[in-house]
Amino acid sequence: MEGPVPDLSEHAAACADRLRDADRVLLASHIDADGLTSAGIASLALERAEIPFETVFCRQLDERAIADIAATDYDTVLFTDFGSGQLDIIAEHEAAGDFHPVIADHHQPADGVETEHHLNPLRFGLDGATELSGAGASYVLARALEPDGGDNRDLAALAVVGAVGDMQDTNGTLTGANEGIVEEGVAAGVVEEGTDLRIYGRQTRALPKLLQYATDVRIPGISNNEAGAIEFLTELDVPCRDDDGEWKRWVDLTGDQRQTLASALIRRAIASGVPARRIDDLVGTTYVLSEEQEGTELRDVSEFSTLLNATARYDRGDVGLAVCLGDRDRALDRARRLLRNHRKNLSNGLQWVKEHGVTVEENLQWFDAGDEIRETIVGIVAGMAVGTDATRNGIPVLAFAENEDGDVKVSSRGSYVMVRNGLDLSVVMREASRAVGGDGGGHNVAAGATIPNGTVAEFIAEADRIVGEQLE
């Protein structure tokens, strides 16, 4: 079987054979949307292949977490959406006979070490930040794990959620190896690809809220302006309220009505002086999950990924995984309650950054939230702050927050323009953290680390130096 990503097919088959040879498997995964969908894909694939397994989640796969995994009595461990950046630590445990690793990841691998069953697009000339996510790597493995007569192409839906949750559609569409997965999802009848307004909340938000909170492309008089959004909608020749007087959602409009509203929005953006390249971002490729109920968070892949982020980041990875596995009752209800809390925390976090501002160094900018922003969401807040008045354009943002172990969590966010100019935050986080006794890694455009308390100033100085060398 060639599979959705031919370059990875042969190695995926070898990884699948290793899992079939195991008596049972410990599945370890990350806590973000990509990690949860990776775990969901791997869980369903293992179950269908009749391979016994147990699932655990880790906020940070560091020495302590890997030692805890080694202390279990599992001989085979499947790492999804992490493991590559920690290969040096994992390899030590493998050499000691603690466990045999199988890794399905897309992050930058640790230098100078390798293991036999390591499925990562970066090893095959593909970009793990833009072409294949952790869920995508897990999906390639799942296709290789299909039992005779089986078909795991329905799992492409979760893989697309993971890719979008990992922001791999930043340029308006999923590209590279992700395209093959989308094609399989469409063929399996679980994914629909189309062109539509690229504003978050098309399925669930009332039209005024949809436009008010559409801040990726800021339109003066509408973005962050509820009254302005209502006035804009009222002036349109589109019935934006239902028979009961309630505001409709985007999904409630007909195709012609959506076209009318989108065209009016573009005209307003042009008249308001929004740059042409930003206006182009208003419309693009969208993905919906065909088998999910219309008008729910699960129908749109962006909203689905946000729902998942609201679970494991609050220590409820079990809830997010249950939703991925198909629970549409108690788990979904619990996830929705967590989502409401998550949105409140993100809003409060962004407001905190706006009020306290950032400190600008020569080559980067940073803020230290202490215990004001939860360490599991400080990276999301940093990403939301990029491009706002709270931060400076052209240099990466570093965010610090205390974690429950007394260490400091660091999250960093850049842009693809910075990456094209030489920025690699994976290298910055790994080298700067190890210089102060911590560890880190990730992608060139977004990465993280954990460092000892009391080393923030030293870490900033080292990170600033490395970024300066990369961007010179």
Residue 66 has what pLDDT? 97
Residue 408 near residue 450 (C-beta atoms within 8 A): yes
Q: What are the CA-CA distances from residue 449 to residues 115, 184, 193, 255 (Å)?
A: 23, 35, 35, 45
pLDDT band at 386 (very low <50, low <70, confident <90, very high): confident
Compute the average pLDDT of residues 63-72. 96
Compute the average pLDDT of residues 13-41. 97
Compute the average pLDDT of residues 366-392. 91
pLDDT band at 393 (very low <50, low <70, confident <90, very high): confident
Q: Using one digit for the tens of pLDDT, what is the confidence trace for 265-277?
A: 999 999 999 999 8
Tokens of 166: 């990992």
Q: What are the CA-CA distances from residue 367 to residues 37, 45, 133, 379, 401 (Å)?
A: 30, 41, 28, 11, 9
Model confidence at 226: pLDDT above 80: yes
Residue 30 has what pLDDT? 94
Q: Using one digit for the tens of pLDDT, what is the confidence trace for 133-163?
A: 999 999 999 999 999 999 999 999 999 999 9
Residue 217 has what pLDDT? 82
Q: Using one digit for the tens of pLDDT, what is the confidence trace for 434-443?
A: 999 998 988 8
Neighbouring residues of 41: CB distance < 8 A, sequence distance ≥ 6:
80, 135, 138, 139, 142, 155, 158, 159, 162, 324
Model confidence at 408: pLDDT above 80: yes
Entry pTM: 0.89
Structure-derived torsion over alpha carbons of residues 419, 379, 343, 347, reported in degrees to the nearest 10: -90
The second-level CATH assignment, the architecture, of 4-188 is: Alpha-Beta Complex (3.90)
- Percent of the chain residues topping a pLDDT of 90: 85
- Percent of the chain residues topping a pLDDT of 70: 100
Compute the average pLDDT of residues 351-360. 95
**Class in CATH terms, 356-469:** alpha beta
Model confidence at 118: pLDDT above 90: yes
Q: What is the mean pLDDT of the chain?
A: 94
Per DSSP, what are the bridge partners of residue 177? none
Out of 53-62, 217-226, 284-293, which region has the weakest mean confidence (pLDDT)? 217-226
Q: Using one digit for the tens of pLDDT, what is the confidence trace for 230-271?
A: 999 999 999 999 999 999 999 999 999 999 999 999 999 999
Model confidence at 1: pLDDT above 70: no
Residue 385 has what pLDDT? 87
Residue 224 has what pLDDT? 82
Residue 170 has what pLDDT? 75
